[in-house]
Amino acid sequence: MNSTWSKLDDRAVQISRALAMDAVQKIGAGHPGTAMALAPVAYTLFQKILRHDPSDPNWLGRDRFVLSAGHSSLTLYIQLYLSGYGLELSDLKSFRTAGSKTPAHPEFGHTKGVEITTGPLGSGISSAIGMAMAARYEKGLLDSANETELFNHDIWVIVSDGDLQEGISSEASSLAGTQQLGNLNVIYDDNRISIEGDTHLTFTEDVAARYTSYGWRVIDVAMKSDGDVDRFSLETAMRQAQSETNKPTLIRLKSVIAWPAPNARGTAKSHGSALGTEEVAATKLILDLDPEESFAVPADVLAHTRELLSRTAILRAKWNLEFNEWSELNPQKSALLKRLQSRTLPKEWEKAIPVFESGKDIATRAASGKVINAIAEVLPEFWGGSADLADSNNTSIEGGKSFLPLSSTMKDANPYGRIIHFGIREHAMGAILNGISLHGLTRSFGGTFLVFSDYMRGAIRLAALMDIASIFVWTHDSIGLGEDGPTHQPVEQIASLRLIPNFALIRPADANETAVAWREVLTRNKPAGFALSRQSLPVIDRSVYGSVEGVAKGAYIICDTKSAPDVILIATGSEVHIAISAAELLQSHSISARVVSAPSLEWFEEQEDSYKQSVLPATIRARVSIEAGVGSGWHKYVGDAGEIISLEHFGASASASELFTEYGFTAENIVAAALRTISNCK
């Protein structure tokens, strides 16, 4: 049954359209057209459909709303204002201005009610799929027997033509169909307009058929004869989507951009430009509003929309009562939920992390796999997988079962399984991980080869921008992967990933550095990525060399001299043990060499200057950095007199030992470089 709809609701939609025009007109930039056309859509969602509490934007029981068409941020901001999330008219007036709560695109953590940063098209819907997956996994943690509705909620998304043209949305939507995410509802604004004009210039596929083939339910909603959104049919479709529990739903909504502007409607100009004073005035006349007024919101309209707070209070009181009853009946699960909500870890959880014996060789990818399984034993919220490379990435959780819907016939399928099969969809995997992290209760990871981090860079950047704890596990981290050749051998990726602000890349030197790095990543609760070796590496004897606890500081002295060193060798990953061998050779030349292992330059930069000076004293100008990738970024650490041993070209198809020898990653070459830099400093 559809909700009641009043003249005040009609008025609120008209006001919403006017506010969209006014906000863009005032600043002279923005995207008014979509916000105007979708005003009845967003209003219906926030006032009639969504389960949410404006007084508590982080309420556990809320539905999530994702504006994947992030350029139309006013679609969201206006409803946050009308609903009572804390945005006021002054915030709409300061749209797109410095320091405002209403930036050009929605920003997570900046504006109450914004669940995710969107703008890069396709990313929003893809992360929303991660939210829907997280909701199901969390249901398994808290109510696997399905004894309560407390933890059931929906994910609602508004997408544009542009979102569905981006490949990432195809990747993620395909997986959503496989996962039969009945809690996912997507409204597709099919207005046939993008910046360059009619989308049929490039986008003529049958979107409904595509999504049907993915396993989605598709509902078509035609526009009214005058071009406006058919709000009644739309709400009917929304109610149908809510009742669908076995598959995700796509509501294909026909609309006219910038409706009801007399001249701008249906035009590409209205997509991303102010309509102009005359067009705004003419449109307000059509809306039965005063063309001389801007940002005019009648008191009765605002009072009507903010009655939502009273309705929500009743809903929330009922939910709280049920929640308290559930907590009393389920004390262990209640305690788990409290811990998950606080984003804390169990006491002494780190004792589960294995310590690896020296004298053995183990690839850091293999060590990571052992650590993942050890962590999974003590953290039920820990889950993840890879982009079809679980055996290579070592990202499977033993006995964890495959995260797949109840109807799946695949072996070990379980709707609450801990192993996510992302398929060969790296970009979607990254966005899904972001969605899982944003959903709030669990910790997840996703793996692939380091060279394919290029495919997922947009998602990595968004994780860093939102400051969320997405974890990326990249293996086959250098030419050390060998025979697969240059297409699979990362060269520029490590340096490139280090350029992303607020993102930590960790390239551990051995199994124990890998273990401590995992501990740090989970403790820090920040976005991070591992670069792990395919080839086996010696487990460094910590009774002889520096404590592995130095990993927590990003770089530390792993091999030192009795007196002041003549040269400092700085290495990461698989090159650290080679640097140690070089230091031993230098000793035979009566040269004292300090070796610094630098698994994470980002963590090192966080340290006090006194610590950084203790590791890399300015008085020691003779320095050599060793890393099997491009040397960009190392000049900061070796200075004007140092040398960089790097790889400034692509690799080749050959064994790791052959390539390391041919390209100079040998103890002998490091010694030669050390002698040169010492000479340069005299």
Residue 493 is inside which H or E element, if any? Answer: helix 493-498
- 160 contacts: CB under 8 Å, gap ≥ 6: 34, 68, 69, 71, 72, 121, 188, 189, 191, 194
**The tokens of 158 are what?**
């508004």
Give the whole-angstrom CA distance, residue 319 versus residue 308: 16
- Residues 174, 177, 182: CA angle, nearest 5 degrees: 145
Give the whole-angstrom CA distance, residue 368 versus residue 363: 9
- Asked whether 239 and 273 are in contact (CB, 8 A), the reply is no
CA atoms within 13 A on the CB side of 434: 31
- Asked whether 550 and 562 are in contact (CB, 8 A), the reply is no
Q: Label residue 449 left, alpha or beta by phi (over 0 means left) and psi (-120 to 50 means alpha).
A: beta
**The tokens of 563 are what?**
């007196």
Catalytic position from the list 279, 426, 513, 643:
426
Q: What is the dihedral of CA 269, 275, 276, 280, to 10 degrees?
A: 150
The DSSP letter of residue 191 is -
Give the whole-angstrom CA distance, residue 600 versus residue 603: 5
Helix intervals (H) in 379-456: 390-393, 426-439
What is the three-class DSSP state of 120? coil
Centroid of chain to Cα 373? 23
Q: Is 309 exposed, middle or buried (0-12, 13-18, 19+ CB in 10 A)?
A: middle
**The tokens of 46 are what?**
């926030």
CA atoms within 13 A on the CB side of 375: 27
What is the three-class DSSP state of 459? helix
Residue 672 is inside which H or E element, if any? Answer: helix 667-680
- 617 contacts: CB under 8 Å, gap ≥ 6: none
What is the three-class DSSP state of 104? coil
- Asked whether 656 and 480 are in contact (CB, 8 A), the reply is yes
- Asked whether 168 and 428 are in contact (CB, 8 A), the reply is yes
- β-pairing, 184-190 vs 193-194, is unpaired
Give the whole-angstrom CA distance, residue 403 versus residue 383: 9
Centroid of chain to Cα 588? 50
Q: Tell me the CA distances in angstroms from 212 to 174, 248, 249, 251, 415, one per residue in order.
A: 10, 10, 9, 12, 22
Give the whole-angstrom CA distance, residue 343 versus residue 190: 39
Q: Tokens 């559809």 identify what position?
A: 2
- Asked whether 551 and 599 are in contact (CB, 8 A), the reply is yes
- Asked whether 20 and 274 are in contact (CB, 8 A), the reply is no
606 is catalytic: no
Give the whole-angstrom CA distance, residue 385 versus residue 472: 10
**Whether the bond into 346 is cis, omega within 30 of 0:** no
- Asked whether 248 and 16 are in contact (CB, 8 A), the reply is no
List, by residue number, the catalytic residues. 426
